[in-house]
Amino acid sequence: MFYITKEVTFDAAHNLTSYHGKCEKLHGHTYRLQVTIKGEPDEEGMVIDFAELKKVIKEKILDKLDHSYINDLIPQPTAEYIARWIFDELEPLVKTDKRKLFEIVLWETPTSFVRYRKE
Ligand SMILES: Nc1nc2c(c(=O)[nH]1)N=C([C@H](O)[C@H](O)COP(=O)(O)OP(=O)(O)OP(=O)(O)O)CN2
Ligand SMILES: [Zn+2]
């Protein structure tokens, strides 16, 4: 079994509305996103072409989240809920009979990240 990962970054603003602390105020992060696909190689020897994965991430995630106010899309945009939203956006587009979306890892700061899998 193979695990293929593509990494990108995006900049976005948010505030945590159901939270008491400094993060209830508007602020921003440079998010680091890792998308991992699990599967077996096709006749070209690839689980998924890195270029195809990059294109899907750009169209479904970066074009919506980069330089955005995330609360417009996700009501309580914790790292947990952003990661789940990204998983749900990408899952149907990468799934074939030989591969599926395995994991989203989302770094909110250089020292804080969430790992989301559908289990
Ligand atoms: N479980 C979660 N905890 C927190 C989240 C979250 O999404 N999930 N989010 C925040 C804030 O939005 C934001 O991440 C600020 O965190 P903070 O602790 O202030 O980050 P620092 O800049 O202090 O990061 P360091 O890398 O520790 O310097 C809060 N909690
Ligand atoms: Zn934050």
Looking at residue 16, which CATH number applies to its domain?
Answer: 3.30.479.10
Structural domain containing residue 106 = 2-116
> Structural domain tally of the chain?
1
Kindly provide the ipTM of the predicted complex, given to two decimals: 0.90
Residue 29 annotated as binding?
Answer: yes
40-96 pLDDT, tens digit each: 999 999 999 999 999 999 999 999 999 999 999 999 999 999 999 999 999 999 999
The shares of helix, strand and coil residues in the chain, as percent rounded to the nearest 5, are 30, 35, 30
Name the pLDDT band for 110 (thresholds 50, 70, 90). very high
Global confidence as pTM: 0.95
Protein residue whose Cα sits closest to atom 29 of ligand 1: 23
| Known active-site residue 108 | yes
Residues 6+ away with beta carbon under 8 Å from 77: 14, 16, 70, 71
If one residue of 22, 25, 107, 108 were mutated to test the ligand 1 pocket, choosing by the most ligand atoms within 8 A of its CB, it would be: 108
